[in-house]
Structures are given as structure tokens and as C-alpha cells.
Amino acid sequence: MNMIEIRLKKLLSAGDGPLPLDIRLEIGKGEFLAITGPSGSGKTTLLRLLAGLMAADEGFIRFDSEVWLDTRRGVNVRPQARNIGLVFQDYALFPNMTVRKNLEFALSGKQNKRIVDELIAIMELTELEGSFPATLSGGQQQRVALARALVRKPRLLLLDEPLSALDAGIRAKLQNYILRLHEAFQLTTVLVSHDYREIFKLASRVVALQQGRIDQPDLPTAVLFSTGQDGDVRLSGEVLSIEEDGAGFAVNVLIGNNVVRVPAMPRDIQHLQPGDSVTVSFQAYRPELVR
């Protein structure tokens, strides 16, 4: 399988002294990987190393058959040639340019402008394309920033807690946009986030950065709710995914910080899609969707 192979070493200065970053990581093509871990553990540094915005002390980065970095051979491909989309918490939009001009400015030399029209449509920015950033809300500005990161059709999208400054309702909507972009452009995406709700909703795999090394995090486990043999507890949640499961289906529902796998029949999932709100009834220890 095509993948990104990463072996990187970098000595960082942390609050309590030097922190040796020693990264060994493989990312599958088309994967949506989330990286979590405590503040100051090097998550943003890792994204900057991948993007070529920071120099590694030692190591290599290989994307399929391409070598982006190899310190032993003196190879270090410049950021523009790595074809990476990068979105930070700071929207970094040009204040003197409209939404459309911000996107068009990111076009490469002779690139067709149709990609700008496509992104404006996907991100539902049509009514805002003539507006300037100062007139937009935080969520609208982040939509523009996400669209701009994809103008050159990058092979790798790096997201550094891009939604952390937004309220919960706007975050949920933008998470749906990110999923839509990931699938529509067949991206390989790496997200840095502390929010397990966000991680469960977006990522196909999650790793943690602990003391400079990649580790498997302790994730919240699936919940079991019941009030007794005949009890009936109903809880609201958000559909993360729908999968075939034998003769029926399984719906993964995010309830709080936990994921519940709910068996379902074809009639239960008609018109149901990821991002929808549902109610789950827990009867006799068996969860069921309530429509």
C-alpha cells in the first residue's frame, strides 16, 4: 500500500528542559490520522517538519516513491514542491482581498480557476465570495482557510487544531465540511487535536505524541447504559459512520465522548447519514436506534 514513511529526530526546548523528538510513523494513502497528546509534546513541530517549514536534525520523509527529506543524502524538498495543504488555528487570510481573491491568489501559474468555483460550492461560500475577511464570522473565515488550502489539490492536508477557537455548534458543522473535503478530494489528512469528540468523528486512526515519541493513546471505551432488565434509557448522539454488518448494518454513534455501535436494519438507516442526530434506546442491554 502507498504510504508516507516518517523517521525524524529533532531536539526541542520544552518548559522543563530539552525534549528529544524521535518520530517513527507510517501514514496510509487516503487515511485520516489524528494526533493527540499533551501541550508542548511536539505535535505542531511534527506538522511543520512534514511541511518542510522546519529543519529536522536527522531522518527522512518518503511520500510513495518521492523522497521529501533525507538528511544523510542532503535532500530537503522545499515546502512549495511538497504539495501540502496546511491549516492552523490562525486563519491568515489576506484582509484586503475578497473570499474569491484569497482563493485565486493560491492558484499556481497556469492552474484552471474552476477549482476555485468547485471549492466555493463545496464550502457553501457562494453568497460570501465578494466579502472581505473582516466582515466574516470565525467559522466563515475558517471555511475560507480550508478551501484555500485545497486550491492546489494537495496530496497531504495538515490540520493543526483548526477549530479549537470556535464554539461547539460551529465546530460540528466545520467537522462535516472537513469530512466532505477529505472524501471529495481523496486526501491523506493529518489532524492535531485534543478533542476526543472531534477525533472520533473525523479520524480513521489516532496516535498520541508522548514525551517526544509516537504511542497508542488511552481512548475512552464504549459505554453501556441500562437501568435494569426492563429499563429504557434514551440518549442523543451523532452518527459517525454506517457500515455493513452481516445481513444488516452497524451505525457508529458518538454519545458524549464515547462511541456506541448500534445494530440496524435497512429500514432504520433510510435517509440516515454521518452527521445526523439520532436517539439511541438502551433496552435490556441492547442499543437500538429510535427514529
Cα–Cα distance, 156 to 83 (Å, whole number) = 7
Residues near 22 by beta carbon (within 8 Å), at least 6 away in sequence: 8, 9, 212, 213
pLDDT, one tens digit for every residue, the chain (291 residues): 568 999 999 999 877 788 899 999 999 999 999 999 888 889 999 999 999 999 999 999 999 889 999 999 999 999 999 999 999 888 889 999 999 999 999 998 888 999 999 999 999 999 999 999 999 999 999 999 999 999 999 999 999 999 988 887 888 889 989 998 999 999 999 999 988 778 878 888 999 998 899 987 766 544 433 334 445 677 888 888 888 887 788 898 888 767 788 888 888 888 888 888 888 887 655 667 765
Beta-strand relationship, 277-283 and 258-264:
unpaired
Residue 92 has a CB neighbour count (10 Å cut-off) of 13
Query: What domains sit in the chain, N to C, each tagged with a CATH number?
Result: 3-215 (3.40.50.300), 232-290 (2.40.50.140)
Helix axis angle for 138-149 and 168-184, nearest 10°, is 20
pLDDT at 248 (0 to 100): 84
Q: 255 and 280 in contact (C-beta within 8 Å)?
A: yes
pLDDT at 49 (0 to 100): 96
pLDDT at 97 (0 to 100): 97
pLDDT at 257 (0 to 100): 64
pLDDT at 219 (0 to 100): 60
The three-state secondary structure class of 254 is strand
pLDDT at 181 (0 to 100): 92
Cα–Cα distance, 253 to 261 (Å, whole number) = 6
- Burial class of residue 12 (count of CB atoms within 10 Å of its CB; 0-12, 13-18, 19+): middle
